[in-house]
């Protein structure tokens, strides 16, 4: 699959006015075309392969406008992934890092990586790698490995990093919909940032 086809589908939809607002929302970390998510997905429908295409993802990640990284994330969310893809996924997490792509990569990371790999990511020096590990089980509900979740979260409670404090709280908040008693016990047994505690307690 050539990245040129995706560029040809998206670039004519560019809206400079919308692009300015989207960039501002992301604190001007990246330029945008100004294409909303529904329009972006409609435009590339049928253009993305059904198996992992690393060259395509790399090419999309190298383009300046953020929508191309979102297309890559959409691709990764739908294709089969195995533990051999872990290093490749990590390379994406640490390139052009911000919460939008890291959060979009969290579930593909969770599908691809082993518990041992996630434990290593949770201790990584890069905060975005750690955030991906914290969030990798989001949405698993009863299939959540609570022991692994607790281990990863406990190791990231004292980071002092807003994006990690927020992610830990988010993970706890989401799991509280499935097992509120577990989350309540975890919250009460650990010291954590006020932001984390507030997020964790939202549904308790």
Over 90: is that where the pLDDT of 183 sits?
Answer: yes
Q: Domain residue spans in the chain?
A: 1-80, 96-204
pLDDT for 18 equals 98
pLDDT for 93 equals 98
Average pLDDT, integer, range 114-133: 98
Over 70: is that where the pLDDT of 1 sits?
Answer: no
Over 90: is that where the pLDDT of 196 sits?
Answer: yes
Q: Which fold has domain 96-204?
A: 1.25.10
Query: Which residues touch 52 (CB under 8 Å, ≥6 apart)?
Result: 75, 76, 79, 80, 81, 85
Average pLDDT, integer, range 106-128: 98
Average pLDDT, integer, range 58-79: 98
Q: At 2, list the tokens.
A: 């050539």
Residue % of the chain over a pLDDT of 90 = 99
pLDDT digits (tens, 9 = 90+) for 125-165: 999 999 999 999 999 999 999 999 999 999 999 899 999 99
pLDDT for 2 equals 85
- Phi, psi torsion values for 52, nearest 5 degrees: -60, 125
Over 80: is that where the pLDDT of 172 sits?
Answer: yes
Which H or E element spans position 96?
none
Question: DSSP H helical segments within 45-193, as ranges?
Answer: 54-62, 66-78, 86-93, 99-112, 115-122, 127-135, 146-154, 162-176, 180-189
How would CATH label the architecture of 1-80? Answer: Up-down Bundle (1.20)
Secondary structure string (H, E, C) spanning 78-91: HCCCCHHHHHHHHH
pLDDT for 120 equals 98
Sign of CA dihedral 160, 164, 166, 171: negative
Among candidate residues 146, 138, 132, the one with its CA nearest the CA of residue 103: 132
Do the domains spanning 1-80 and 96-204 agree at the CATH topology level? Answer: no
Among candidate residues 139, 129, 123, the one with its CA nearest the CA of residue 109: 129
């Amino acid at each position: 699959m050539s990245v040129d086809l995706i560029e040809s589908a998206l670039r004519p939809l560019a809206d400079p006015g919308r692009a300015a607002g989207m960039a501002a929302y992301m604190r001007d970390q990246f330029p945008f075309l100004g294409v909303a998510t529904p329009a972006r997905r409609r435009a590339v429908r049928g253009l993305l392969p059904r198996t992992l295409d690393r060259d395509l993802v790399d090419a999309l990640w190298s383009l300046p406008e953020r929508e191309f990284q979102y297309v890559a994330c959409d691709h990764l969310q739908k294709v089969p992934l195995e533990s051999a893809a872990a290093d490749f996924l990590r390379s994406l997490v640490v390139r052009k890092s911000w919460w939008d792509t890291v959060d979009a990569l969290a579930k593909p990371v969770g599908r691809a990586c082993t518990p041992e790999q996630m434990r290593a990511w949770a201790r990584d020096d890069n905060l975005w790698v750690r955030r991906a590990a914290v969030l990798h089980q989001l949405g698993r509900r009863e299939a959540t490995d609570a022991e692994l979740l607790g281990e990863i979260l406990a190791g990231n409670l004292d980071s002092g990093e807003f994006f990690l404090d927020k992610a830990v709280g988010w993970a706890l908040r989401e799991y509280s919909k499935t097992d509120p008693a577990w989350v309540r016990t975890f919250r009460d047994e650990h010291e954590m940032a006020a932001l984390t505690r507030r997020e964790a307690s939202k549904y308790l």
